Chain A
Amino acid sequence: MLFGFEWDLSSPLAFALSILPILLTGLLVTLQATVVGFALALVLGLVWAVLKAAPSRIISWPVSVVIEFIRDTPLLVQLFFLYYVLPEYGIVLPAFMTGALALGIQYSAYTAEVYRAGLQAIGADQREAARALNLSSARTFTHIIVPQAIPRIVPAMGNYLVSIMKDVPVLSVVTVLEMLNVAKIVGDRTFDYLIPLSLVGALYLITTLVASAGVRLVDTWLPKEGIPLK
């Protein structure tokens, strides 16, 4: 029994059906970690991108180093660091928050690059035209740069959303009860790993397909008429 659900070992199908609610509980945690991690990555990545584009090297240079450091060290190392080192300095976060934070930080290094590339694709010619027309910097950013950058940014961000989802099982090592961890516990108790792990694979496939379709839907819905995207 796990989370109040009994399993039924009478047949493979009965077993699969009986542990499905347990795995779905884990899937919910996986999705929560994905959403929180992705949201953090989107916000933090934008902060990095803006700071890295700062005219002063005193700001842009250290930020570049931080981004490079995050990108070039494994997620698992960052996760262990947050989970085992921070408490030594009195910062104790729940396992779930630590995991989501690690995902968000790791992926912020990638989303920063997406923002940078997206904003840079809008050439100096657009800023100059806006300046010649006396549009304010704020107006230029919100109505000239951003609307042209968003359709370039969204597809790449969608890919990272799916990647984050697939990295969530890493959080199992710090005791987060996401889907893979739950399946492993079921396997440990029933000595049947085949069915729980197969179900995890199937549920992942369905979830990522749905997420990808969602990203494509958002992409087609975005206003991008007239914007040359190649």
Chain B
Amino acid sequence: MTDPIIKFDKVVKRFGDLTVLNKLDFEVQRGEKVSIIGPSGSGKSTVLRILMTLEGIDGGVVTVDGEPLWHEKAPDGTLKPASETHLRKMRTQLGMVFQQFNLFPHMTVLRNITEAPVKVLGLSKKEARQRAEELLELVGLADQAQKYPGQLSGGQKQRVGIARALAMRPNILLFDEPTSALDPELVGEVLNVIRKLADEHDLTMLLVTHEMRFAKEISDRVCFFDRGRIREEGTPEELFTDPNEDRTREFLAAVLDEAPGTTG
């Protein structure tokens, strides 16, 4: 197997006295689709937020595509904290889909998607527009380009969020509970879009979710997080049907019990 595209090496993250990630070791291979499940407060979202450089780390090293994310190599070979320039360079590999969509409300759907490609990647307005239209086609919103986010349903907003992240052509796409803020009847349309993306071999996907059936369906691997560490990981079949750890079994029993019929 080649080098992992994402590697957490004994990563520590604290919020005040609370240790959210406790010497986390975690690897993701290129093109792999990994779901992260676990109770709230287990550090699942923090993993994504660290990768997207929204949160710093308090110990260890995070590597993305062979390069340290939160560090830079000093001339003497040691690692020093990353500069904003380094973070900007590293960020080009990553895209994120937020739980609350985080669209820019004062911009049209089209502008939401073209803003960063034009201003950051330096695309011409025409190129960016073309790219945006293709992506809107992909997420099934080709006719909504001129609307403002406020005029869309939650499911539509999240599909715009996905298109906006894809417009930057990231190698790694991070989904932070993408359907948790949605009405139940709107979850399906968003999952359908994510399912389509999962078929792309080059794209590495990291999905924090409570949709167990969906995680089982699209993931190459599922990681169960508990108290800042991976308690158990494996293929969806292994983890969902025959978990080794009692803690995993407890968690799955609790969440699957809440939503009858989702055991697949």
Q: Give the interface of A toward B (CB within 8 A).
A: 125-126, 128-129, 131-136, 139, 143-144, 147-148, 223-228
Contacts and interface: CB of A to CB of B under 8 A. Distances in A.
Contact of B115 (A131, A132, A143): A143
B53 interface: yes
Given A133-B164, A135-B119, A226-B107, 17 more contacts: A125-B100, A128-B102, A129-B98, A132-B52, A132-B95, A133-B115, A133-B120, A134-B168, A135-B120, A144-B104, A223-B106, A225-B148, A226-B106, A226-B149, A226-B150, A226-B151, A227-B105
B231 interface: no
Question: B interface, by DSSP: helix, strand, loop or mixed?
Answer: loop
Nearest to A139: B119
Contacts of A227: 105-106
Interface string B134-155: 0000000000000011110000
A129 B148 contact: no
B42 interface: no
Interface string B218-253: 000000000000000000000000000000000000
B100 A225 contact: no
Contacts of B168: 133-134
A129 B102 contact: yes
Interface string B38-79: 000000000000001110000000000000000000000000
Given A126-B102, A144-B104, A148-B105, A131 B53 contact: yes
Contacts of A224: 106
B23 interface: no
A126 B104 contact: yes
A132 B54 contact: yes
Interface residues of B, number: 29
B116 interface: yes
B91 interface: yes
B62 to A, nearest CB: 16
A184 B151 CA distance: 57
Of B95, B105, B119, B168, the most chain A CB neighbours within 10 A belong to B105
Contacts of A147: 106
Contacts of B115: 133, 135, 143
A134 B91 contact: yes
Contact of A134 (B88, B100, B104, B150): B88
A129 B165 CA distance: 9
A126 B54 CA distance: 12
B92 interface: yes
Contact of A125 (B88, B98, B107): B98
Given A129-B103, A135-B116, A226 B98 contact: no
A176 to B, nearest CB: 42
B145 to A, nearest CB: 14
A210 to B, nearest CB: 30
Contacts of A133: 115-116, 120, 164-165, 168
A171 to B, nearest CB: 40
